[in-house]
Structure 1
Amino acid sequence: MEAEGVRFRTHANCIQLHKSERGIKVSLDCEHGEPEVEASHVLLATGRRPNTDDLNLQAAGVQMDAHGFVVTDEHLRTASPTVWAMGDCNGRGAFTHTSWNDYEIVADNLLDGGTRSAADRIPAYALFSDPPLAHIGMTETEVRQSGKPALIGKRPMSRVGRAVEKGESAGFMKVMVDAESRRILGATILGVGGDEAIHCLLTCMYSRQTYDLVARSVHIHPTVSELLPTMLQELKPLA
């Protein structure tokens, strides 16, 4: 294993990788939790910085934040009225889909006199692992921290017929709903087809409809998305 004895320094902690009977052992200097975890594989996400430091943006009146991202307003204008920033460099989502949406916003506002805004964008991403992990909107932790009265629905993929048929029943579906407005706050699907099925909920959020729109809809059988209405019909208060 190439990672044997490798040390990684983070802002506050040191991570060490070693061989173990199960494959690999991760040792972490931490204040809470177990200091060692054994596993067969390790996914190490170190983050990245935009390569804006050698562009001399200050000379053009363009501001950057402490991490090197170009500072923009919600319409993607920089501090210089003739410069716009889109894509990874503006720190508004390092994804192909957010970068393409940035282009659409800039093109509409710059060329067609529009008023499109990145502030209208709902966070959405997928990790194409096996099974895939898809998420939209707020996380459960963010909902709890917001203090909003909320409802939550959960369903294991082992109770999704299509997943069982395919022999890929690992994972779960989860959705959080504002108890007062009845609008979807966020959702996560870890499971086969979840990266596609979650768009049903995302479209409902963009249309500013209540969750009843999906809960009362009829989806095609047998699909992963057909269990989204069922999950929304079984919401419980977020304790």
Structure 2
Amino acid sequence: MCALMPRPTRFDAIIIGSGQAGNPLATALANAGRKVAVIEKYLLGGSCINYGCSPVKALLASAERAHQVATAAEYGIRTSTPKPDFPAIIQRKDAIIQHKRDGVRANLTQEQSGITVLMGQAQFTSARTVRVRLNTGGEQDLTAPLIFINTGTRAAVPPIQGLVESGYLTNVDILDLKQLPEHLLILGGGYIGLEFGQMFRRFGSRVTIIDAAKNLLEREDDDVCQAMRQQLEADGVEFVLEAEVRRVSRNADAEYILTASTAASERRLRGSHLLVAVGREPNTDDLGLEAAGVQTDEKGYVLVNERLQTNVRGIYALGDAHPGPQFTHLAYDDYRVVRDNILHRKRRSAKARPLPYVVFTQPQLGRIGLSEKQARHEKIAYRVATMPVRVIGRAQETGLTAGFIKVLVDERQRLLGATVFCEQGGEIMSMLQLAMAGGLTCEELQNTVFAHPTWAEALNNLFVKLMKAG
């Protein structure tokens, strides 16, 4: 006789993936008395802690410090040329990330009762059951009336001849390099490519960014794209745009050779390292979603409604696993949407919510609301005011004069959107986001008393332009 499989272990909820939506949801459900299983294939904490926001921003802080030393003479400070100790830079990053990982593990395994953490690969066997192939060996079947998919994304790999055979770095691999690249080639002019590009240039690498588009950050307004390119070129980053990479190879010295077609000619680009940063794809292909009957789009993202429910009752998708912008703060808001709908019986929607984001180059690019491109596309009437950063007193005093601030307002003098390409751009953008949430008008912002001399004080002068134009 065949041995009978043991019955699945029953839980009130199963969370697949321990990212910025899954972890707080596990805690909230456990605090409400629910028995919760968290399944993690790789590292607790998800992409933000392990290979996204936290490690990249830690490295960017080191790059910014190197730049401050390199430009100290402009401030009357005599220094020698900075010499980045790359292994020490990586060690600092690792220490910060390990502290965060330890905090997540303690929260899930020590500080909360009612949470069971299983390390392994989850796969649906039906709409209510999940089989876990444990990393330590063996399998375990679980069942629950509520299942949450929070599995995130991975780097997309373009179908370029020779790329896979030649090898390449992703945003994960590059974080653990032991030596500084001599010449880093970056495929992709999005925010990941730009942050790594400026970072490694300031560490001392030669950097070339290659993209098929005409502009960097293709979704942004042209003035933003141009300003970003000018800033990074001033740092020494090289760009090859409107270039289609057709082939990748490596020579006997392990040097990468990229063959690219441009409007003018065919080019061969050579470098010591290659980072692929052309986009993301969802980690859903190995979940067995077909066994549960969960629908996805053509790219594999899980389709959800405004309450983040899939087409199968009791199954939800959170964070980057479903279509839409991929940001940590939106993943966390997904948690709040699900928490309020399930635990607090509040009808809360994931649609039509604010979308703030920041590109952490220096200067930072902070964005909230509509761009001019979006307003024109949606046929929304607007007025616009733009102010160069160099006229701001705080910028003149600190020497950080690159960039501009731009706001769009409607006929009622209320903000439609803001672009802040400026030192502390993310913080200034967040102030404007609060003004938008509060419905403040241009006149109210123009007449607000800000402390002098702060970056925020620039808003007085910026909104004066709109008041005069109106």
Is the pair's TM-score, using the shorter chain for normalization, greater than 0.5?
A: yes
Structure 1 residues 190 and 62: CA distance shift in structure 2, 3 A: same
Structure 2 CA distance for aligned equivalents of residues 173 and 65 of structure 1? 37
Structure 2 CA distance for aligned equivalents of residues 48 and 13 of structure 1? 16
* Residue among 423, 446, 467 paired with 1:192: 423
Question: Is the 8 Å Cα contact of residues 133 and 194 (structure 1) preserved in structure 2?
Answer: yes
Where relative contact order (Cα < 8 A, 6+ residues apart) is larger, the structure is 2
Question: Is the 8 Å Cα contact of residues 187 and 276 (structure 2) preserved in structure 1?
Answer: no
Aligned match of 1:18: none
Runs of 4+ more than 4 Å apart: 1-4, 12-15, 22-25, 32-37
Structure 2 CA distance for aligned equivalents of residues 164 and 7 of structure 1? 35
* Residue among 427, 438, 447 paired with 1:216: 447
Matched, 1:71 2:303: yes
Matched, 1:26 2:257: no
Aligned-pair distance for 1:210? 3.3
Structure 1 residues 67 and 76: CA distance shift in structure 2, 3 A: same
Structure 1 CA distance for aligned equivalents of residues 432 and 440 of structure 2? 10
Matched, 1:115 2:329: no
Aligned match of 1:97: 329
- For structure 1, list consecutive stretches of 5 or more residues without a partner in the other structure: 16-21
Structure 1 residues 33 and 220: CA distance shift in structure 2, 3 A: farther
Percent sequence identity over matched residues?
36
* Residue among 181, 188, 199 paired with 2:412: 181
* Residue among 259, 282, 286 paired with 1:50: 282
Q: Alignment partner of 1:233: what SS?
A: helix
Residue by residue, what CA displacement relative to the aligned partner does 1:199-219 show, whole Å, maximum 9, x if unpaired? 121012223343333233111
Aligned match of 1:156: 388
Give the total of aligned pairs: 222
Structure 2 CA distance for aligned equivalents of residues 148 and 47 of structure 1? 29
Structure 2 CA distance for aligned equivalents of residues 185 and 35 of structure 1? 42
The structure that is helix-richer by fraction is 2
Structure 1 residues 112 and 7: CA distance shift in structure 2, 3 A: closer
Q: How does the TM-score come out when normalised to structure 1?
A: 0.80
Q: Alignment partner of 1:70: what SS?
A: coil
Structure 2 CA distance for aligned equivalents of residues 51 and 131 of structure 1? 32
Structure 1 CA distance for aligned equivalents of residues 275 and 391 of structure 2? 28
Q: How does the TM-score come out when normalised to structure 2?
A: 0.43
1:82-93 paired onto structure 2 within 5 Å: 82-93=314-325
Aligned match of 2:359: 127
Question: Is the 8 Å Cα contact of residues 125 and 135 (structure 1) preserved in structure 2?
Answer: yes
Question: Is the 8 Å Cα contact of residues 184 and 275 (structure 2) preserved in structure 1?
Answer: no
Aligned-pair distance for 1:150? 0.9
Structure 1 CA distance for aligned equivalents of residues 213 and 427 of structure 2? 37
Q: Alignment partner of 1:114: what SS?
A: coil
Aligned match of 1:229: 460
Structure 1 residues 53 and 157: CA distance shift in structure 2, 3 A: same
Counterpart residue identity of residue 221, structure 1: H
Question: Is the 8 Å Cα contact of residues 154 and 174 (structure 1) preserved in structure 2?
Answer: yes
Q: Alignment partner of 1:123: what SS?
A: coil
Aligned-pair distance for 1:47? 0.6
Aligned-pair distance for 1:23? 7.0
Aligned-pair distance for 1:60? 2.0
Structure 2 CA distance for aligned equivalents of residues 151 and 200 of structure 1? 20
Q: Alignment partner of 1:174: what SS?
A: strand
In our comparison, the structure showing a higher alpha carbon Rg is 2
Structure 1 CA distance for aligned equivalents of residues 344 and 299 of structure 2? 32
Residue by residue, what CA displacement relative to the aligned partner does 1:48-98 show, whole Å, maximum 9, x if unpaired? 101111112232232111122111111211112201211111133321111
Counterpart residue identity of residue 240, structure 2: V
Structure 1 residues 211 and 72: CA distance shift in structure 2, 3 A: farther
Aligned-pair distance for 1:164? 1.5
Structure 1 residues 33 and 100: CA distance shift in structure 2, 3 A: farther
Structure 2 CA distance for aligned equivalents of residues 133 and 112 of structure 1? 36
Structure 1 CA distance for aligned equivalents of residues 305 and 291 of structure 2? 19
Aligned match of 2:293: 61
